[in-house]
Amino acid sequence: MKKGLLLLMMGLMALGLAVKANADARLDSMSQDPRFVEDMDLIWLYPNKALEYKDTVDFRLNDTEYNDGWGQGYAEWGGVLKDMGDVGVIGAYANRPYYTQTYFEDMYNHNESEKPADWYNRYMPYGGGWSPAGQWSGNMPNNANYYPNTPQNKVDAFWAKSFSGMDLGAMINYADNQEYGALVNNYSQDLGINLGLGTANLGPFSQANFHLSYQMGSFDTGIQGGESAMGDGIYSLAVGALLVNDVDADNSVRVTGDVRNDQWNTKDIQTGNPTTHYQSNQFTVDLGAGINHKISGGKGVVASGLMLVYDGYKVTDDSYTPTAEYEGNSWMVLWNASVESQLTGWLTWRAGIFKPIFDRDYDVTKGQPGAYGNNDPYSKNGTYSTFSTGFGINVENWTLDAQVSVYSLEQLISNPSLGGILYDNYNSIDNGSILSITEADLKYKF
């Protein structure tokens, strides 16, 4: 064991790496979604998958919410899944961040102020949506006194067990936060449950997974004098399926679909003024299909997927006179391709590219519906693509997955220097390193 850990550390030092981190580094290194390639992050959408990833300790080494937190040990999060025999697989995660910056829609985010807040993605990643995105923010009544606290995730509890050829799983999530002060007692809370069912050989499919999730939230900003903004009906309900057809030993087709309905209703109470209300409802449909081709005897994979996303919303806000009303919808067609290849027995390299083929928003409340965009790479016109790359190191039971900064890799390729060990300060983006790591995960299989 000591020899293996020593080899791991020597490998990192030899590469000359500077490290920062975020969330699932393997998927981000391939510009991938967990529904298009088999990955441990599927447990967040289908908790029955905990049976496949049992006896694992999982560390996520940081999150971009804390830009200065790398190496200080306070922003990391993780958990463990343990097979308990007849009881089934049980597990718990702690400190999962409020905001997890990963995957397609987050690369290509929507920030229209009139759209409902994405509260439903804060604690249940992939809970029916294309990706985790958004923060509890912004969409409060126009004259709200105080924005709600960001809830802090306390625990994600897992249970999974096989019954009569079916895999059942459940995840319960709880988060809250309270801020005391002379003028405010600001409280927020979130509670969710996600149920998963998996089975083999369902019609033409060799594997079928289904999930049903419900998330509810509440808050009260508690301003002194009876003034406050508070939740008045906040929830998310989602159902979805992931179906896999093994065409042959090396090729498979993955089909996925999710439907989600979200409500974010709030009210604003001010002394001497009428209570005002903000009411929003959002309906989202994701339909996708992807192909997987195993390479190197199953040690690697080439994958590609296409996802159609529809998002419709309606908002009313009576803090304005007359009442403001917003209604619209958006359509997206998202594509990606990736490769994962084992270079040696201990080193795997990954790369992927993501492209919004089509992305348009239509606001039906301001006269003629119209689509719009600009030249920002995260905007709506689909002009830009996103390339990513990274690697995995396996030593004994340990696995370190990391995403590499594309900028630092391109600098190394385009202008290497023999002055250092193929690098100098000009080529690096962080303290003269050969390559800079933007995400890292560490797992131990026991």
Q: What is the tens place of the pLDDT at every residue in 89-146?
A: 999 999 886 543 333 444 333 333 333 333 333 322 332 222 222 223 333 333 334 5
- Is 8's pLDDT higher than 60? no
Q: Which residue ranges form the domains of the chain, and what is each CATH number?
A: 16-445 (2.40.160)
Quick check: 420 pLDDT over 90? no
Type of residue at 76: E
Q: Which residue has the tokens 């289904």?
A: 210
The mean-pLDDT minimum among 16-25, 169-178, 207-216, 330-339 falls in 16-25
- pLDDT of amino acid 364: 62
Helix (H) or strand (E) holding 101: none
- pLDDT in the model for residue 80: 98
Which tokens go with 268?
Answer: 């604003």
* Residue pair 222/257 in contact by the 8 Å Cβ criterion: no
State the pLDDT at residue 98: 55
CA–CA dist 214, 160 (Å, integer): 18
158 compared with 66, residue with greater pLDDT: 158
pLDDT, average across residues 35-59: 95
Q: Is 219 or 292 the better-scoring residue by pLDDT?
A: 292
pLDDT grade for 313, boundaries at 50, 70 and 90: confident
Closest to 38 (Cα-Cα) out of 17, 53, 56, 25 = 53
Q: Are strands 56-60 and 435-445 parallel, antiparallel or unpaired?
A: antiparallel
Would you put residue 16 in left (φ > 0), alpha (ψ -120 to 50) or beta?
Answer: left
Residues 264, 115: contact at Cβ < 8 Å?
no
Give the pLDDT confidence score for residue 107 in this predicted structure: 38
265 vs 2: which has the higher pLDDT? 265
pLDDT of 278 above 70: yes
The answer on pLDDT for 21 being more than 70 is: no
pLDDT above 90: residue 59: yes
What tokens appear for 377 in the block?
């790479």
Q: What pLDDT score was predicted for residue 204? A: 93
pLDDT of residue 179 exceeding 70: yes
Q: Is residue 8 a contact partner of residue 400, using CB atoms and an 8 Å limit?
A: yes
One-letter amino acid at 264 equals: W
Where do we find the tokens 């998958």? Answer: 49
The answer, yes or no, to whether residue 319 has pLDDT greater than 80, is no
Name residues whose C-beta falls within 8 Å of residue 379's C-beta, 6 or more positions apart in sequence: 373
**8 Å CB contact between 200 and 246:** no
Rounded to two decimals, the pTM is 0.81
Beta-carbon neighbour count of residue 424 at 10 Å?
Answer: 13
* 121 conformational bin, left if phi > 0, alpha if psi -120 to 50, beta if neither: alpha
- The two three-digit tokens of residue 31, written as one number: 């510009």
Give CA–CA dist 79/349, Å, rounded. 25
Predicted local confidence at residue 320, as pLDDT: 76
Q: What does the alpha-carbon distance between residue 284 and residue 262 come to, in Å, rounded to a whole number?
A: 8
Q: Which has more pLDDT, 115 or 253?
A: 253
Residue 280: what pLDDT? 82
Name the residue among 104, 101, 107, 105 with its Cα closest to residue 122. 101
Q: What's the pLDDT score for residue 157? A: 96
Parallel, antiparallel or unpaired: strands 17-19 and 435-445? parallel
Q: Picking from 135-149, 184-198, 302-316, which range would have the lowest pLDDT averaged per residue? A: 135-149
Span 67-85, pLDDT tens digits: 445 666 777 889 999 999 9
Report pLDDT for 186: 80
